[in-house]
Homo-oligomer: A and B are copies of this chain.
């Protein structure tokens, strides 16, 4: 009777959609390219937000909120940025609807309510924020400004996929203002490090920190730091970016400050963001053919308990045990759900929580009651163990840590075994097609070569890794000198 679900090997993309849908994370809405994030999916996003928000505050940032609309004249002020986003802007042109005179009960846009200036729904907020910072900054005493915003943004993407690329998405965007170039560069690097720590420690997702090549940079940035992760199909996913914006926005919006010596200069800027795309990265890093797999640090339910019983008495006895256990978990901050729903069979529940990626499952039946035992199953490697009920708390505590570490190690081992150095372009092309993954190759540093490779192979430079051995080599395409290897891969 069990429905057969698509495996990764059969159709990776279909498998992803099924994992999302079976775990009840999100679905497409009736608005083109926009998703509905369902309660279980949103609960994971809330956990991510909570951890990230604390990290931003620890590093001195405060939250604030800026308007969702950007008047066109502000939007176009920083030309590169405007050019980068112009093609995918939702534009508000009117501010009223009226009854359709020809169609009772229907509404039409009121032509008399046309705006004098169009408003762009923010694809990113540099423009509105820097036009505001102009009012806030006069002197070095007003600096640094370290602000973050949690918000929705809109980019009219033509091809969308839940979490990975949607027209509307949720994100945070940090926007900081500094008196010196070096301070701004430090800030960009620091926040990229925050992202890397979050990805590795909480998402259990190993990432490479690096710099983007010029053509892959954020529109308006002078340098873009990023974290890149490898998905199970060998493709790269850009999981977060942190931009050193130099004085580009300060110049576009005329934001100057007086330094300690009384001299005027433009302000230095950074911006950095991660989005609900991280949900896609999380799903694709750990999930298996049975459904979602979640690292304990981000699981809304870390432990689920399922009773097996025939009689009311049995259920009542098992409930007593699990409710007591639940109190202990609560004290330890472990999120626990005891599912005693009488309308569902244990088998249905097993499959349900497996699909939802709950890290640990505890089962107790009548025989366990007698022997004082429980069965504990872990979602990550599907092993089970029977232990004394009295040991459950300590056992589960260390098991959760163990699962967290195991997921990271497994993902890292996968990445290692799918990362290779290549020195010839021919070799690269063959292996990219046959094996996929990350390729460390020498590149001559030009956009022309990068473009040629992209056109011929669909692989792009994911980043120039921050940490690597110095190695003089020759560009795999042109043979020109190169000082370090960069990562090529196909990407999301």
A interface with B by C-beta (< 8 Å): 27, 29-31, 34-39, 42-43, 46, 62-72, 74-76, 79, 82, 86-99, 105-107, 109, 118-121, 128, 131-132, 135, 141, 147, 151-152, 154, 156, 168, 170, 343
Contacts and interface: CB of A to CB of B under 8 A. Distances in A.
A69 B31 contact: yes
Contacts of A74: 30
Contact of A119 (B38, B90, B105): B90
A151 B27 CA distance: 18
Contacts of A170: 65
A107 B120 CA distance: 11
Contact of A128 (B29, B68, B93, B128): B29
A107 B31 contact: no
Contacts of A34: 67-69
A101 to B, nearest CB: 14
A29 B91 CA distance: 19
A343 to B, nearest CB: 7
A31 B168 contact: no
B64 A38 contact: yes
A29 B66 contact: yes
A98 B76 contact: no
A384 B120 CA distance: 52
A118 B109 contact: yes
Instruction: Name the prevailing secondary structure of the A interface residues.
Output: mixed
Contact of A91 (B37, B46, B93): B93
A71 B94 CA distance: 15
Given A29-B66, A89-B96, A90-B92, 18 more contacts: A29-B132, A30-B132, A31-B71, A34-B69, A35-B67, A37-B65, A43-B62, A67-B168, A68-B68, A69-B90, A86-B96, A86-B98, A88-B95, A89-B97, A91-B93, A92-B92, A92-B121, A96-B156
A63 B150 CA distance: 16
Contacts of A135: 27
A418 to B, nearest CB: 34
A30 B118 contact: no
A291 to B, nearest CB: 20
Contacts of A79: 105
25 contacts: A30-B131, A30-B132, A31-B70, A34-B68, A36-B65, A36-B132, A37-B65, A39-B62, A39-B147, A42-B62, A42-B64, A43-B62, A65-B170, A68-B68, A72-B97, A75-B97, A76-B105, A76-B107, A87-B97, A91-B93, A91-B95, A91-B97, A92-B93, A93-B93, A141-B343
B31 A128 contact: yes
A39 B152 CA distance: 18
Nearest to A129: B36
Contacts of A90: 69, 92, 94-95, 119
Contact of A76 (B62, B64, B72, B106): B106
Copies in the complex: 2
Contacts of A96: 86-89, 91, 156
A107 B86 contact: yes
Contacts of A120: 97
Nearest to A300: B62
Given A31-B128, A76-B106, A105-B79, A168 B68 contact: yes
A135 B29 CA distance: 10
Contacts of A66: 29, 36
Contacts of A95: 88-91, 156
A274 B82 CA distance: 35
Contact of A64 (B37, B88, B131): B37
B64 A36 contact: yes
A9 to B, nearest CB: 30
Contacts of A76: 105-107
Question: A-B pairs with the 4 shortest C-beta distances?
Answer: A39-B62, A34-B67, A37-B65, A86-B97
Contacts of A75: 97, 107
B82 A107 contact: yes
Contacts of A156: 95-96
Given A31-B128, A74-B30, A107-B76, A39 B63 contact: yes
